[in-house]
Amino acid sequence: MSANTGVPSGASGNPVPGVRSGARHWDVDGTPATPADRRGPSGRLLARGRDADIYEGGPGLVVRRARDGRSLRHEAEVMEHVRRAGYPVPVVHDVRAGDAELVMDRVDGPSMLGLLLRRPWRWGQLAGTLADLHGRLGAIEAPPGLRQLPDGGCAVVHQDLHPMNVIMTPAGPVVIDWANAARGLPVTDVAQTWVILWSSESPTPPLVGRFLLSRRRALVDRFLAATGERSAAEAVLPDVIERRLANPRLTPGERQVLERWLASVRG
């Protein structure tokens, strides 16, 4: 790492289980990433999310760049904070290129969404795993300087903790994509995942999307039951839906679902 990143080197930390250098990479929907010939500043493009591009970064490493070129320093810092508290995240090695590139361990495995598609009978177990990841994160106090949510809470909240941001390794789930991490109440994070699970359009082909839709209610119900926070999450839903509606990357369809939902929960 560079001397001035403020991010401890992963080399001295515990490696994330399941990280293997040069192993096969899986994209968000559980299929191998397209072997693009595009080369970014740091190597071959491995995957594209809604917000960031992920490049090969040398043996066992990837480089994350936000497409708007913003600083990824706060993401790196919160990742290291939760990792030190025992939470499963990729080890951060460096923040470079004027903070625009985050170098971290490459984590191999399908996303939780990919696993849901390939092993649909495991949906109940996966909903439980997602709830468990929420519970563990909600027990970690936020570091100083993390953006405060209006709910006044003091735990780390991820705000995007859904099945596309969990990589399932043989040694357990690993949580990626900490762009929206903040300080808040754990129940806000549960409600946020509820809203994402319920309103997001599938990034998968239409047939697969229909399959997912048919199981969406069961998945949400099992997730909420496993958190034990359904009623508390209901109480914060209007605020969470409203905040979600401020996201400029929503599709028109997602916006419509959220607007109707907001109207119904406000009575």
Ligand X SMILES: Nc1ncnc2c1ncn2[C@@H]1O[C@H](COP(=O)(O)OP(=O)(O)O)[C@@H](O)[C@H]1O
Residues that bind ligand X (CB under 6 A): 27-28, 47, 49-52, 54, 62, 64, 90, 104-107, 111, 164-165, 176-177, 179
- The residue (of 177 and 189) whose beta carbon lies closer to ligand X is 177
Q: Which is nearer to ligand X, 174 or 187 (CB)?
A: 174
Please tell me the distance from the alpha carbon of residue 213 to that of residue 209, in angstroms, as a whole number.
6
- Single out the residue of 49, 109, 110, 163 in contact with Mg ion (rule: CB under 5 A): 49
| Residues near 214 by beta carbon (within 8 Å), at least 6 away in sequence | none
Residue where the block lists tokens 């916006």:
255
For residue 73, the SS3 value is helix
| Of residues 47 and 241, the one with the C-beta less far from ligand X | 47
- Interface region with Mg ion, contact rule CB under 5 A, candidates 1-9, 79-87, 103-111, 165-173: 165-173
Which option in Mg ion, ligand X, none does residue 191 bind, with CB closer than 5 to 8 A by kind? Answer: none
Interaction between residue 129 and Mg ion (CB under 5 A): no
Q: Which is nearer to ligand X, 66 or 245 (CB)?
A: 66
Question: What is the smallest separation between the CB atom of 90 and ligand X, expressed in angstroms?
Answer: 4
Contacts of 90 by beta carbon, 8 Å cutoff, 6+ apart: 16, 19, 62, 79, 104, 105, 106, 107, 174, 176
Supply 167's token pair. Answer: 């990589």
Rg of the chain, C-alpha, whole Å: 18
Chain positions contacting Mg ion, by CB under 5 A: 49, 165, 177
